[in-house]
Amino acid sequence: MSAPGTFAPRPGAAPYASMVRTQAAMETRLLLRNGEQLLVAVVIPLIALIGGVVAANRLGIDLGGERAVDALTPGVLALAVMSTAFTSLAIATGFERRYGLLKRLGASPLPRSGLLLGKVGGLLVVQVVQWVVLGVAALLLGWSPHLGGVLLAVPCALLGTAAFASLALVVAGTLRAEATLAVANLVYLLLLAGGAVLLPRSSYGGASEVLVVLPSAALGDALRGAMLDGSPGFVPLLVLTAWALGAAALASRSFRWE
């Protein structure tokens, strides 16, 4: 005979931390199953790394006196952060909002803050995968970073993730899904080509002083400084912090769940 209360129902939501972990796991699976987002998150940065190193070595391109693989790898890692935290997040969130998924999740026992934390958790897992894949590829190409600088690069990447994820939520929370798709891809291509994320700002001549205010250039500068010299620099961190705080404040005011 069962003890009293053995089969008594215990309705109620799961603990907050458990719900966030579950949501993060689901967000990770959705990101990894999406072929288009995997292309942006892993394949394009990997092609940029290998193609850039091979081209720079064959053509003798000067990258500030550094070896091509050492100069390009931090920029490619910054590009990976931007591709996931901005482009992938903006597109995924925009279409979730269009199909009413965000509205339904917002009415579930999972608080909206937990939903956002779950999305960020999924992003961080994918970024770890990105950095492992790109780091192994770079090491095979002869990459030799500043060892202490690699540890300093982690908080720089987290700050960059905060800045670009906040910008992604601003775009996805205010525009229609189709417009979000177009804007996210366009901004990604523009920053890739002229945002000083992949190449050092010195490569852009007189425009380098203007580019310093871009979050892409700030993240690229911080990671290059950390991995090449062991110091990310004060100005890049200040710029990233300003973008992260400003975009987060704007997203909290402008984001629409439906």
For position 250, what pLDDT does the model report? 92
CA distances (Å), origin 191, targets 72, 91, 197, 227: 15, 17, 7, 21
Q: CA 171 to CA 231: how far, in whole Å?
A: 32
Supply the pLDDT for residue 116: 76
Residue 256: predicted pLDDT? 80
Query: What is the per-residue pLDDT across 156-199, written as a single tens digit (0 to 9) for each?
Result: 999 999 999 999 999 988 999 899 999 999 999 999 888 889 88
Q: Would the pLDDT of 24 be above 90?
A: no
pLDDT tens column, 9-18: 565 566 767 7
According to the model, what pLDDT value does residue 1 have?
52
* Contact (Cβ atoms closer than 8 angstroms) between residue 119 and residue 27: yes
CA contacts within 13 A on the Cβ side of 13? 13
The CA-based angle 146-148-152, given to 5 degrees, is 105
The pLDDT value recorded for residue 207 is 82
Token duo for residue 251: 């997203």
